[in-house]
Amino acid sequence: PAEAEMSAQAAEAKAQAAEISRHKEEGEQLLEVASLVAAQLGLLGPTRRVLALYALRKTAEPLRPPVAYRATSSTLLVAEAYTPRLARLQVTDGSVIDEIPVGPWPVSVAVTPDESWAVVAHAGNDTVGFVDLNQGRLIDSLWVGDAPAEVIVNDAGTHAYVSLRTQAEVAQIDL
């Protein structure tokens, strides 16, 4: 009986060691993917590290990188198409400030020059959403046309421009 118990404990310890090893490998793969995505986006230094840290925190979710990001003076906004939300991260340490629910399939995000609003392209319902960053919530959405892909805000903060992938057009929005 004592040998059987010791054998069972050894088997359990071996299974736990294998599980720890698997999680470590998954974490290393995730960090590698996050670093590759950051490199493809041209991110350097702290911004790359913040995206990698955020990706590592998402190990319970499928291994998918964020689709878009936009840095402000103190935060990094990450559009997560698969969850649909906009994550706001602290640039200094990568901590999550908040995760703001947005429309379906957010594929691009832009920020007004005063950093009070984010404009998010929602490919899932052909809209652009307006997120009040001070309140941390989606305020309104506007239909813009088929398959919005990229969104930018002009330097004056008076207009947003949204590329419409299937229409080969750009929609202009007064802000």
Q: What is the pLDDT of residues 1-22, one digit of tens each?
A: 667 666 777 777 677 766 666 6
Strands (E), 51-112: 68-71, 75-80, 85-90, 96-101, 106-111
Q: Which position has the higher pLDDT, 113 or 74?
A: 113
In which band, very low, low, confident or very high, does the pLDDT at 119 lie, cut at 50, 70 and 90?
A: very high
Question: How do 106-111 and 96-101 pair as beta strands?
Answer: unpaired
pLDDT tens, 39-93? Answer: 555 554 555 555 555 655 554 444 344 556 666 777 888 888 778 889 888 777 7
| CB-neighbour burial class of residue 15 (10 A; exposed 0-12, middle 13-18, buried 19+) | exposed
* 108, 142 Cβ separation under 8 angstroms: no
Distance CA 167, CA 147 (A): 8
* 153, 110 Cβ separation under 8 angstroms: yes
64: three-class secondary structure by DSSP: coil
Q: Provide the mean pLDDT of the chain.
A: 77
Q: What pLDDT, on the 0 to 100 scale, is given for residue 62?
A: 42
**Lowest-pLDDT range of 2-16, 90-104, 132-146, 153-167:** 2-16
Distance CA 108, CA 50 (A): 18
Residues 6+ apart with CB under 8 A from 18: none
pTM, entire model: 0.66
| DSSP H or E stretch at residue 57 | helix 45-57
pLDDT tens, 121-133? Answer: 999 999 999 999 9
